[in-house]
């Protein structure tokens, strides 16, 4: 069993990984080989000590080089759930794999696109966050897929192979999905509705000329880069969408720490890096 699992490959997760490495602890770092869209997309960084006039792409490249120099690998799997057991954590990924660790650092960032009304109410009753876990339930059915990132298009393709019809609510540019059973919608839905289970997705106005305000669907998949921490981990103390932490970045769950944007504002690299470092030292002390 590994000492720590870090969820998130933004600067908070990377900072935690570098510190754990220096402290001689074993760990697994989950995220994306391209690190984070919030690094890549920064036009010019001016407020980080030692870096002036550096683009997000240059910053990402420097971080990737540093990770390679330290032999730190990123596991390219999305974490779907974290379970606090008696004296360890079980981390389940959307690839249906389970990993175990003594501690966890949540460095999963925040999603800028807000939750949709009904999303939490119908979670497990037609709303899913994991294409590969639940996709098979919707064979030959009609589903809506709400997606915030081009990087998740492989999950849309997977779902469109299974479902008869997919309404793709795309909240990102340059959609590259071109399939007969996928209809692209560019409007934010108002709510997910139904009785016992999801029955429809409702828009304030018809989302296009050929579609009505309400679309009958059997299920809704929410594909976001960042899953809300409360959904990721049951029992976690969360306030206004942010993980509640102490000065040492510990959460209300023993052995679970958090760092970066997921703990609250200001959303800035320097704060995320500092918190990742503190979280890793706290993990070492805890162990
Ligand atoms: C366009 C833009 C420009 C910015 N410019 C600046 C700037 O100039 N200066 C500044 O200080 N700040 C800037 N920021 C803010 C800064 O990007 C963030 O504060 C910082 O990236 C937060 O780092 P983080 O590690 O907490 O989260 P993130 O960078 O959001 O990283 C979180 C990572 O976790 C991964 N993840 C999430 N959930 C899971 C999961 N379930 N399983 C696996 N991986 C998961 C995500 O894919 C992502 O890789 C900018 C933000 C944007 C969007």
pLDDT digits (tens, 9 = 90+) for 40-62: 888 899 899 998 889 999 999 99
CA 108 to chain CA centroid, Å, is 6
pLDDT of residue 219: 96
pLDDT of residue 8: 96
DSSP 250: B
Ligand 1 atom nearest the C-alpha of 31 is: 44
pLDDT of residue 184: 95
Tokens of 142: 């009609």
CATH 3.40.50.720 correct for 2-111+226-286: no
Query: pLDDT at residue 5 above 80?
Result: yes
219 lines ligand 1 (CB under 6 A): no
Confidence of residue 226 (pLDDT cuts 50, 70, 90): confident
Residue among 7, 57, 3 nearest 31 (CA)? 7
34/63 Cα distance (integer angstroms): 10
Q: What mean pLDDT, rounded, does the chain reach?
A: 94
Ligand 1 atom nearest the C-alpha of 267 is: 19
Tokens of 276: 């990742």
Q: Are 187 and 212 a contacting pair, CB within 8 Å? A: no
Ligand 1 atom nearest the C-alpha of 259 is: 26
Reported pTM? 0.87
CB-based contacts of 159, cutoff 8 Å, min separation 6: 131, 135, 138, 143, 145, 166, 221
Q: Which residues is 221 bridged to in the sheet?
A: 128, 145
Q: List the chain domain ranges.
A: 2-111+226-286, 127-223
255 lines ligand 1 (CB under 6 A): no
Q: Are 91 and 104 a contacting pair, CB within 8 Å? A: yes
pLDDT of residue 134: 86
279/259 Cα distance (integer angstroms): 7
pLDDT of residue 113: 73
pLDDT of residue 151: 85
Hey, which CATH number is domain 127-223, 3.50.50.60, 3.40.190.10, 3.30.2270.10, 3.10.20.740? 3.50.50.60
Hey, whose CA ends up nearest to atom 11 of ligand 1? Answer: 268
pLDDT over 90, % of the chain? 80
272 lines ligand 1 (CB under 6 A): yes
């Amino acid at each position: 069993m590994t000492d720590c699992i870090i969820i998130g490959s933004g600067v908070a997760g990377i900072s935690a990984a570098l510190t754990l490495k220096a402290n001689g602890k074993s760990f697994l770092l989950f995220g994306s080989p391209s690190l984070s869209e919030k690094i890549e997309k920064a036009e010019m960084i001016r407020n980080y000590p030692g870096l002036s006039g550096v683009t997000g792409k240059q910053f990402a490249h420097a971080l990737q080089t540093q990770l390679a120099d330290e032999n730190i690998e990123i596991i390219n799997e999305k974490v779907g759930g974290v379970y606090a057991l008696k004296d360890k954590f079980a981390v389940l990924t959307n690839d249906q794999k389970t990993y175990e660790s003594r501690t966890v650092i949540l460095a999963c960032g925040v999603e800028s696109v807000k939750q949709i009304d009904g999303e939490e109410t119908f979670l497990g009753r037609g709303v899913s966050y994991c294409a590969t876990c639940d996709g098979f339930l919707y064979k030959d059915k009609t589903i809506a897929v709400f997606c915030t990132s081009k990087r998740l298009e492989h999950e849309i393709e997977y779902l469109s192979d299974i479902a008869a019809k997919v309404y793709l609510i795309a909240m990102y540019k340059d959609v590259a999905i071109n399939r007969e059973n996928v209809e692209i919608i560019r409007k934010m839905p108002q709510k997910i509705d139904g009785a016992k289970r999801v029955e429809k997705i409702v828009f304030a106005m018809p989302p296009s000329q050929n579609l009505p305000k309400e679309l009958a669907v059997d299920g809704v998949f929410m594909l976001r880069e960042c899953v809300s921490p409360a959904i990721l981990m049951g029992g976690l103390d969360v306030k206004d969408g942010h993980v509640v932490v102490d000065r040492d970045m510990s959460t209300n769950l023993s052995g679970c720490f958090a760092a970066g944007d997921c703990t609250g504002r200001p959303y800035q690299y320097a704060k995320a890096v500092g918190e990742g470092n503190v979280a890793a030292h706290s993990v070492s002390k805890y162990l």
